[in-house]
Amino acid sequence: MKTLLKTIVAAITLFCIMAFASLSTNKETHIATTLEPSYIASIIVPEIVKPELPKNQTGMFLNKLGYKESGNRYDVVNKFGYMGKYQFGKATLRTLKIKVTKEAFLNSPDLQEYAMQQNLLYNKKKLQKYIDKFEGQEINGILITESGILAAAHLGGPGSVKKFFRSGKIMQDGNGVKITSYLKRFGGYKLNI
């Protein structure tokens, strides 16, 4: 079937080129009419490719989250003492069993990326039941996705996400940023976690 399609397309293409060549004295057109039909078909008819499944978007997710938290700067400390690209607090680092000085943490992008990966794994484990139950549903106009849930947990902790799903209570951080804004803003990423 594929060969037949290429042959038909090549014949039609060759006919059109020859018709055009008779109207024009352009050397390039004349050269094209002397090419083998199968060669012309291979130029004009692209191979049929199966659509790809969505790729892992963890890097894009982390870049967008890091930009929102700190402008993707590893050396930032905010007025509440949250540190680095993802604005980690000391309590979260302790929970993740990362014992390090503030200076060492701020001077190690690799450690900060490791901490974020561990935080995502930790939050996913704590919230898997809610991901399974609510993913794909719309709540208060927000499409609930795993990436949105994990971003909201990064902002307010897994407990605040559980409260939101249980009672509708919307936690906000010291800057007035609500977990629902993270549910929405960071939703829809395909993560490999």
pTM, two decimals, is: 0.70
- Model confidence pLDDT, tens digit, residues 125-162: 999 999 999 999 999 999 999 999 999 999 999 999 99
Per the listing, tokens 């994990």 go with 150
Q: What is the CATH number of the domain that holds 115?
A: 1.10.530.10
What six digits make up the tokens of 182?
């993270």
Tell me, yes or no, whether 53 lies in a domain: no
Q: How confident is the model at residue 54 (pLDDT cuts 50, 70, 90)?
A: low
Q: Helix 37-44 vs helix 2-23: angle between axes, to the nearest 10 degrees?
A: 100
180 and 131 share one domain: yes
- Model confidence pLDDT, tens digit, residues 64-117: 999 999 999 999 999 999 999 999 999 999 999 999 999 999 999 999 999 999
- Model confidence pLDDT, tens digit, residues 5-22: 454 445 454 444 444 444
Q: Which residues contact 119 (CB under 8 A, 6 or more apart)?
A: 86, 88, 92, 96, 154
Task: Write out the residue range of the structural domain in which residue 78 sits.
Answer: 58-185
* H helix or E strand, kind and range, residue 89: none
Q: Return d(Cα 85, Cα 105) in angstroms, integer.
A: 10
What six digits make up the tokens of 42?
């291979």
